[in-house]
């Protein structure tokens, strides 16, 4: 049962973009709807759990949430350029590498020879996975332009996700206490990012459901961590990239050649190996 609980974040998070794309509406409706859904779910959880909420926790949580909205909107925009099956493994890999390097350089997380070796192997595997999943035999000029736009958008998106993780970490704001204020920040960020595009339509309302999924995944991560440990829960939560990538290919019918499928498969395996190594380094 504990293992199943620790898999739920991956299932929920891996399904979010698939739901967003199926619902449609474009990146702005998806961003605003998702943040509203997360706020609704987090508000209910806060009223039930009543975690500690100081002014510092609230402000830090809001700033962290605004950073998340930047990251998520960029991810949605990249999907429009290069699809789910390319966006998600590249985005996941960039997030893991950036947050890990930041943790090592700023928070001095790797302090032993074992953690350094595991960490270096992990980063090498993840970078290799990113290269494999982005492989394309030949791209037309139009496809090359879209790929470039997608990657640049993901680099900006990664900075947002990095801010989301680092700001909260720097002030020791996490777990149940962070859930509600981060959702408030996400919604504020979503409104600011989408304001000029006026995404107030039925697609925004429908995209509330993926937002509920995101918040549910977060909740189950908090529940599973005390049961199976941070290392295992972290590793399993990142495997959602398998669901989103394969879902993009088989559910959303994104066209791939046989060679591309092989490289994507290898890339996913490398990323998962890297995630497991990072999980072991966190022990």
Which pair of tokens denotes residue 44?
């209910």
Q: What's the pLDDT tens digit per position in 247-274?
A: 999 999 998 999 999 999 999 999 999 9
The dihedral formed by the CA atoms of 251, 138, 241 and 270, expressed in degrees to the nearest 10: 140
Q: What's the pLDDT tens digit per position in 49-91?
A: 999 999 999 999 999 999 999 999 999 999 999 999 999 999 9
Name the more confident of 158 and 229: 158
The band of 231, judged by pLDDT with boundaries at 50, 70 and 90, is low
pLDDT, residue 230, reads: 65
Q: Looking up tokens 């009223």, which residue turns up?
A: 47
| Of the candidate ranges 16-20, 31-35, 41-45, 98-102, the one whose mean pLDDT is the lowest | 98-102
CA distance 263 to 281: 27
| DSSP structure class, residue 212 | H
Question: Exposed, middle or buried: residue 1 (CB in 10 Å: 0-12, 13-18, 19+)?
Answer: exposed
Secondary element (H or E) of residue 173: none
| Of the candidate ranges 32-36, 133-137, 193-197, the one whose mean pLDDT is the lowest | 133-137
CA distance 102 to 237: 20
CA distance 282 to 150: 31
Contact (CB, 8 A) for 150 and 82: yes
Q: How large is the average pLDDT for residues 24-44?
A: 97
pLDDT surpassing 70 at residue 30: yes
Length of the chain: 283
Name the more confident of 108 and 31: 31
Which pair of tokens denotes residue 63?
């700033």
The band of 228, judged by pLDDT with boundaries at 50, 70 and 90, is confident
Q: What's the pLDDT tens digit per position in 13-28?
A: 999 999 999 999 999 9
CA distance 139 to 134: 12
The band of 281, judged by pLDDT with boundaries at 50, 70 and 90, is confident
Q: List, in order, residues 6 or more apart from 272 with CB less than 8 Å away.
A: 238, 239, 241, 242
pLDDT surpassing 90 at residue 128: yes
| Predicted TM-score (pTM) of this structure | 0.92
pLDDT, residue 233, reads: 77
CA angle 221–208–236, rounded 5-degree value? 20
pLDDT, residue 242, reads: 92
pLDDT surpassing 80 at residue 156: yes
* Backbone φ, ψ for residue 201 (5° rounding): -145, -175
pLDDT surpassing 70 at residue 283: no
pLDDT, residue 141, reads: 85
Alpha helices in the chain (DSSP H): 2-23, 26-49, 55-82, 84-107, 113-133, 141-170, 176-194, 202-206, 208-228, 230-237, 240-250, 258-281
Q: How large is the average pLDDT for residues 100-104?
A: 87
pLDDT surpassing 90 at residue 134: no
Among 225, 207, 227, CA closest to 217? 225
Contact (CB, 8 A) for 115 and 281: yes
CA 62 to chain CA mean position, Å: 18
């Amino acid at each position: 049962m504990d293992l199943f609980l620790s898999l739920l974040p991956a299932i929920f998070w891996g399904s979010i973009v698939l739901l967003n794309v199926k619902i449609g509406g474009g990146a702005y409706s998806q961003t605003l709807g998702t943040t509203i859904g997360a706020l609704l779910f987090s508000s209910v959880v806060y009223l039930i759990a009543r975690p500690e909420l100081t002014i510092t926790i609230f402000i830090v949580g809001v700033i962290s949430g605004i950073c998340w909205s930047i990251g998520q909107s960029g991810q949605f925009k990249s999907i429009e350029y290069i699809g789910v099956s390319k966006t998600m493994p590249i985005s996941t890999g960039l997030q893991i590498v950036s947050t890990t390097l930041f943790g090592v350089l700023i928070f001095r997380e790797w302090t032993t020879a074992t953690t350094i070796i595991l960490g270096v192997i992990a980063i090498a595997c993840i970078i290799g996975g990113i290269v494999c999943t982005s492989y394309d035999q030949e791209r037309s000029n139009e496809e090359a332009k879209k790929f470039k736009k997608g990657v640049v958008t993901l680099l900006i998106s990664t900075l947002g996700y990095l801010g989301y993780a680092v700001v909260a970490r720097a002030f020791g704001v996490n777990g149940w206490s962070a859930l509600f204020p981060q959702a408030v920040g996400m919604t504020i960020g979503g409104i600011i990012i989408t304001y000029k595009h006026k995404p107030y339509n039925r697609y925004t309302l429908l995209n509330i459901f993926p937002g509920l999924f995101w918040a549910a995944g977060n909740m189950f991560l908090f529940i599973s961590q005390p049961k199976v440990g941070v290392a295992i829960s972290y590793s399993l939560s990142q495997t959602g990239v398998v669901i989103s990538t394969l879902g993009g290919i088989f559910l959303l019918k994104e066209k791939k050649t046989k060679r591309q499928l092989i490289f994507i498969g290898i890339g996913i395996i490398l990323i998962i190996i890297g995630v497991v190594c990072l999980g072991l380094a966190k022990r």
